[in-house]
């Protein structure tokens, strides 16, 4: 494992108790950062903090509750210091339906969590980064946001929105030494698959030229560099993690 130097930095990882978020948190802790995990599940948060050790802490946060996000941001900056790094990993897949049959409440839920939740967290964290003239943000999108997946229109639309949000915000903050980038993973074996039909999971695997799902540690490796000081120029960009499925 290459060593990324994040000593003395403070990071927030949403959805950090499981899946890609937890793998990212592990990599950031190993690189010297203090990490605050934000997640809905207190049980998963407790287990994650125990596994990560004394430089990790947790706040139970619902990312669709802006007031809770603002309070969590203030707590991190009071308890841990200036918030240097943000990784937005919290998300839901939603159910498989064709668009004309997609349940309206499920559409709203998927967009609210994946797109609006990403906006809420960025909105709460960015002012402090601007005031300090430094920050690194990674928003996790998906290959679905580039290509669209059949019977997953809400997720595809929301993740496309995350890409647009990232490009816009990256340009807004470019002169503040704040890098804002997105990653677009292919399917990884995480609990988000629990929401999907087995035949759809098989379809997703068939689209990946490498012939396997993404390993969460592979995502963490890319993200660790993107949130480091070494990433001093690239911003408003989308980095592929699709095993060759998308190449643009």
Within 10 A of 112 (CB to CB), how many other CB atoms are there? Answer: 16
Catalytic residue among 66, 120, 155, 203: 155
- Residues in CB range of 202: below 8 A, 6 or more apart: none
CA distance 21 to 233: 24
pTM: 0.94
Within 10 A of 130 (CB to CB), how many other CB atoms are there? Answer: 15
The reported pLDDT for the residue numbered 1 is 78
**Contact call for residues 211 and 17 (beta carbons, < 8 A):** no
Give the relative orientation of helices 216-226 and 19-30 as an angle to the nearest 10 degrees: 50
CA distance 58 to 186: 27
The reported pLDDT for the residue numbered 115 is 98
CATH superfamily of this structure's domain 10-240:
NAD(P)-binding Rossmann-like Domain (3.40.50.720)
The reported pLDDT for the residue numbered 162 is 98
The reported pLDDT for the residue numbered 231 is 98
The reported pLDDT for the residue numbered 188 is 82
**Contact call for residues 94 and 155 (beta carbons, < 8 A):** yes
Provide the 3-class DSSP secondary structure of residue 156: helix
155 is catalytic: yes
The reported pLDDT for the residue numbered 247 is 81
Provide the 3-class DSSP secondary structure of residue 60: strand
**In this structure, what are the phi and psi dihedrals at residue 6, rounded to the nearest 5 degrees?**
-120, 25
Q: Enumerate the domain spans of the chain.
A: 10-240
Those residues of the chain that have pLDDT short of 70 are 192-193, 195
């Amino acid at each position: 494992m290459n060593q990324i130097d994040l000593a003395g930095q403070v990071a927030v990882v949403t959805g950090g108790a499981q899946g890609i978020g937890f793998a990212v948190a592990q990599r950031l802790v190993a690189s010297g950062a203090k990490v605050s995990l934000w997640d809905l599940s207190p049980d998963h948060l407790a287990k994650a903090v125990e596994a990560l050790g004394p430089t990790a802490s947790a706040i139970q946060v619902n990312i669709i509750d802006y007031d809770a996000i603002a309070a969590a941001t203030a707590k991190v900056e009071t308890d841990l210091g200036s918030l240097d790094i943000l990784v937005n990993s919290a998300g839901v897949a939603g159910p498989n339906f064709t668009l004309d049959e997609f349940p309206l409440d499920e559409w709203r839920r998927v967009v609210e969590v994946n797109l609006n939740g990403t906006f809420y967290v960025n909105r709460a964290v960015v002012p402090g980064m601007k005031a300090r003239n430094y920050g690194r943000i990674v928003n996790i999108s998906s290959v679905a946001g580039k290509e669209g997946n059949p019977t997953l229109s809400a997720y595809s639309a929301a993740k496309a929105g995350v890409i647009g949000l990232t490009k816009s915000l990256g340009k807004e903050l470019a002169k503040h030494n704040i890098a804002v980038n997105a990653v677009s993973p292919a399917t990884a074996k995480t609990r988000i698959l629990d929401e999907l039909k087995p035949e759809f999971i098989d379809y997703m695997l068939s689209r990946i030229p490498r012939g396997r799902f993404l390993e969460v540690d592979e995502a963490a490796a890319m993200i660790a560099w993107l949130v480091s000081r070494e990433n001093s120029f690239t911003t408003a960009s989308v980095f592929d993690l699709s095993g060759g499925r998308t190449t643009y």
